[in-house]
Chains A and B, each alone.
Chain A
Amino acid sequence: MTESVLEVDGLTVEFPTEDGTVRAVRGVGYRLERGEALGIVGESGSGKSVTALAVMGLLPATARVRGSVRFEGEELLGLSDARLSDVRGKGIAMIFQDPMTSLNPVHPVGYQIAETLLRHNPDLKARGARARAVDLLGTVGIPSPERRVDAYPHEMSGGMRQRVVIAIAMANDPDVIIADEPTTALDVTVQAQVLDALETARAETGAALVLITHDLGVVAGHTDRVAVMYAGRMVETGSVEDIFYTPRMPYTLGLLGSLPRLDREEARLTPITGSPPSLLHLPPGCPFAPRCPLRRDACDGAEPPLRPAGGDGHLSACHFSEELVGTGAGEVFEAAGADSAALARFAEAAPVNTPEEDAV
């Protein structure tokens, strides 16, 4: 049979609203092997968080969810709340952007870790739980953990709180950790500390990871496979090397071409013009078509399904993915900036203020 800890199939989420139905997630599927790290990237509003919340059973009751989410072979969609929270407690840990979503403001952090430990190991004594809590705080890189164990969440910085959340996740000994933008609000040096803590947690628990982020650098360093989302769908998926070195979907290529790089000099970036479509009124055909330089009539017909595109397990949802073989973003996208005609007229029209003219 299968090695997958988590299997998501044909996941669809719709929100009925006053303006109509928001089709937030439209048939997303992935398999997560034991211990594997999957990165999910995509523009704001592409459905990354809603997908994660659907897997966790944390969407509001108004959401219409269809498809299948299996954890260790057990179907989670449609489970009772009690059974679901049991699975969540033991099997899947979630880390949100705001650590206070997971922390209780009225208890010291050590108490919260110890409580989790005791729930899983009824034989553990209170003192043992506290000692283990101190250990865990040290493991996630919190300085002077013996002192910090009695601190309340509000006495800690954002980066420390996020590491406490990771320590609690470790206490649960999960098989899957889903982290949704866990470092987005943090400064880079603190982000590095939190990502280190996350790596430590994975190494110690053997948990698989779903890492949702808009930071392609974070994905490059911390995942094995990547799924790119656009307008509620997965539009490309493959190994982290497939996605970064040989993208086969114009959107992915555009995303990489938009990135300024620390490690090299690029003459000019190639932005993707326009903005993503409204999920209320999706046009037929490829959702990327209005922004795609390779678009042609066929693209407005059927929405392209995910199809094999090169390497093993590399899939792309583009009718013309093979045209991207050997091309760079600079050859497909334009390096648009200012309107050059208008800029020339503006530079010409009146000289920029000179200080003389303004002398008082």
Chain B
Amino acid sequence: MSAPAQVADALSPLPGHGGTGEPVLQVRDLVKHFPVMSHGVVRRRVGDVHAVCGVSFDLHENETLGLVGESGSGKTTISRTVLGLESATSGQVRYRGRELTELSRRRMRPLRRELQIVFQDPYASLDPRISVHEIVAEPLRIHGRYGPGADDEVRELLRLVGLNPEHGNRYAHEFSGGQRQRIGIARALALRPRVVVLDEPVSALDVSIQAGILNLLMDLQSELGLSFLFVAHDLSVMRHVADRVAVMYLGRLVEIAPARQLFARPAHPYTQALVSAIPLPDPRKERARTRITVQGDVPSPVRPPSGCRFRTRCPKFAGQLTVSERAACVEEVPALVDRGGGNPVACHYAESVELL
């Protein structure tokens, strides 16, 4: 994009919402393609999965930025690329003004401490062969910080996340799903990070257990001033935890706004469809709702539609636009800019709608 300063303004929180000050993390024009190889003996590159296409956002101190979108929209790819677990095809990731994508391994290492991740699957992400104490202690060892007193530090971490420190000698499989997720959080906190990426941290849990984890995360953030990049597909969870929400569709950001505004007055037809599709646990309200429904399935990210990627399912495109208006949707990629509603929206015909 040609005017980075302007973009930064549009992608930062509005006054009075969420974090303040300089962004901790700045992501600009992030692109990630995965090669698609042919089958057969000689494997050739036959195309690309356009997993993430020109995504830009800021994350501020003490802020939770939610990243929502349906399966395959690129949420995990963004999380992994931001943390350097995956190399970007192009674009920049700046942490406190330092360009992460250009750092050498050695120079990256101390920064690694400050950016941590918690994964979705508490079953798969913890080493089954070592005790819980060791799982939490491991990052300290790797970073040469396991000094005298570290044993107490680990016990304190377990206590902090609501686990009994006496159980440190047990193995991950002896804990319930919710407890395992707490172990993952204790491990992520061990190095006292400033930014934590949470990739679907509660999606695998029953709601009664999920609520405890959400409370824990919110306490940690407010007390420690952490910044969260919070990935989820559950919009109700998002509404509860996020200061701002960024909505992904097929590799692109389609709308970003303070949480309250995004749910009260979504402006992108895809955001509207998402909000509209979430069932409310309130029988009278749920029966009385009018719905904006979309047709069909998400197209393949190998050959995404030209222009606006949502056009093949967009109810506005199908039902409201004239033939000549549709031309813009087909030909021009809609930029993520403020279109009068106060927040960036990537739709040529954005229009706020009240749905709840």
Contacts and interface: CB of A to CB of B under 8 A. Distances in A.
A262 B235 contact: yes
Contacts of A190: 297
Contacts of A215: 279
Interface in B301-320: 313
Nearest to B263: A262
B248 to A, nearest CB: 12
Nearest to B259: A265
Given A189-B277, A215-B279, A337-B215, A262 B236 contact: yes
B211 A340 contact: no
Contacts of B210: 258, 271
Q: Which 7 A-B pairs have the closest CB atoms?
A: A217-B279, A337-B215, A271-B212, A260-B240, A271-B211, A258-B211, A338-B219
A263 B356 CA distance: 6
Interface in B233-265: 233-237, 239-241, 260, 263
Interface residues of A, number: 64
- State which size class the interface on B falls in: 35 or more
Interface stretch (B159-167, B322-330, B336-344): B159-167
B43 interface: no
A220 B208 contact: no
Contacts, number: 188
A262 B281 CA distance: 9
Interface of A: 43-44, 143, 157, 159-160, 187-193, 196, 214-221, 240-241, 244-245, 254-263, 265-266, 268-273, 275, 335-340, 342-347, 349-350, 352-353, 355, 358, 360
B293 A347 contact: no
B283 A220 contact: yes
Interface stretch (B8-16, B46-54, B107-115): B107-115
Q: Chain B binding site: helix, strand, loop or mixed by DSSP? A: helix
A271 B212 CA distance: 5
A269 B211 CA distance: 6
B216 A337 contact: yes
A294 to B, nearest CB: 16
Interface stretch (B30-38, B79-87, B130-138, B284-292): B284-292
Contact of A270 (B211, B239, B279): B211
A188 B280 contact: no
B125 interface: no
A214 B207 contact: yes
Contact of A220 (B161, B215, B286): B286
